[in-house]
Structure 1
Amino acid sequence: MSRSGSLSSAGGTDTTGQTYTQSSDFSSDRSSDALRNKKTSFEVISGNVRFTWDEILRATSWFAPDLTVGEGGSSIVYRGKLDNGKDVAVKRAKKNAKDEHLTNESFRTEIGTLQQISHINLVGFYGYLLFEDEKIIVLEWVTNGNLRQHLDYKPLIHRDIKSSNILLTSTLHGKIADFGLAKLASTDAGDTVVQTMAKGTHGYVDPEYFKTNQVTNKSDVYSYGVVLLEIVTGKRPTDRIGDRFMVEWAMTEFRKGNVRSTIDPKLTIDSAITVAAERIFDLAYRCLNSDRRKRPSMDECGKILWNIRKAYNDLARNAN
């Protein structure tokens, strides 16, 4: 595959002699309209494989979150499938105005390097797109994951995540216990489905698991969402508030914007606690989505909670 080509900036003529125009839409929204508005006659110009913006969108199903296979500080990698059926990895740079210069520089450096090298132990380079606020590299799809995944233990589907199965050390580090119902999950990035009789603790069990007898990686995520609400409200999932159980009551109040009224009164309810509680409720709402495909991964939950913790500490510090 030829690796000749040059980097282009938005607007002008590419190395194929084809003209392209610059759209005014800089939205990073994943909506179909926002992404489609970026469409021009500009194509990926490096390598023997040539892609239009439409092909990139189709390949990644409009950058669908469930096709995400990796994320670093400056980019997200998606699994994609080209129109000819070929699997590829699509690396999309994050949009960060503060680091725009660094992002442009690192992108150009990576492209320049990839164009000049070829080796059996290096991921194959197919092409790139540098247009408006989009910086995309199309690479060979490597089927067997990364070395870290093979060194790690296989992931587990616990099937009985609940507050009484999360033990706390003297420094309040959580440790999950009771693996009597656990099932080994696949090591791939997809949603592992295991057919088994529904088991678990009432109030924590994923309703979809209950209906279908299919437990997945996302079933534990649902249970974790219940635990998050339990932490904030101080109530058990089987507690009734009026004519509703805790989860339904808490989510109803969240949708009304009444999170503050649901916070455990044993907590000191100040602005920092309120903001943290609202963000935790938002995460719990996502975890409890009836469509398991739309629930976050546990890895994503962890990252969100770290950000909530940092924001809480900053607010609490500024208040003192």
Structure 2
Amino acid sequence: MGKIAMHTSSSENMWIGGAIVLIIILTILLRKLAIYIDCKAKARALAKAQRSDHSQKDRELSSLSTTKTIRTYALEEIKVATRDFRIRIGVGATSYVYLAELGDGRFGAVKRVMEERGGCQKMFLDEVSILLRICHPNLVGLLGFCLDKGEQLLLLEYMPNKSLFDRLHNHKGKSSGCLSWSSRLSIALDIAYALDYLHSVADPPVIHRDVKSSNILLVNDDHAKLADFGLCKLGHHDDFTAQTPTIIRGSLGYVDTNYLNTGLVSPKSDVYSFGVLLLELITGMKSLQGSITLAEWTSEYRKDQDAEALMGMLDPKLNGQVNVEQLRVLVHVANMALLENSMARPNMAEIAHKISSCMEHPPESELPV
């Protein structure tokens, strides 16, 4: 009898112990399930928030694009047009540019923003937003864009004649012959009109922040368009000057010295860069001469309005085939644009007027060949 009781007690203990172990296991499983469900819920909420944020940006871009009939493209369409990004026609600070066949003999240029080159979605969306707001014959136009499967792509006007930098400085461009004095004046005027539009007509105004010869694409030898709006900053009509310093953006040799010293950017920063561009057109030299900027290299020549002094800074490929009074006007404009005091610099409307006036009524004085 005692043995039977002991055996029964032992069996009960085993059942109780097993039940406790089972309860513990179930508790652990339920806790893990609860954590999993909570994580999934948070993930869904985050994804929904991200989709909402992207949808909001998409709606903003769509509302802007309706006035310019800009369309969005699927990634597969861009891949077909570029033959899977086969022909690279340009390289930017954060992007590569590829040739795209649009059909009916039309071509486009696809700017592919690359994260590994420092590009990011915010910069891409900012550039699209700016391109959708602006329209001018001297600005490279947006044809469409793609934000699909991690790709950030802009479909832009295609300029087969390359950039002003290529035309002035690369062997192939120079082999096409010297860019004439009248062509250089015309190109300068086109870019002056483009910047005046960005500063005075666009709403809100746009500060380009990267005016340079490689961002000036040639329609032909006499006409050009300003490109690459990836570093643009929106301004305000009542106060263009930034209230707080910003990270310095731009290219060495072209960047406004006042902007470098203070971090404050304004349309007058673009005016400074345009002044360097004028020196590049006059001299045929790059914006940097070793460690010396072109503005520094020409400073002594620019102080003197004597014809011989002006000839000393002139592109030798021109063989003296320039109008000396027009040259004086361009050097004077460059001097004013490069003033250390940014507030004393002329605006782009004034600069465009000066260049246009000397082209419409060219003085008779010419430098000897």
Scaled by the length of structure 1, what TM-score is found? 0.47
Choose 1 or 2 for highest CA Rg. Answer: 2
Counting helix residues as a fraction of each chain, which structure ranks higher? 2
Taking structure 2 as the reference length, what is the TM-score of the superposition? 0.41
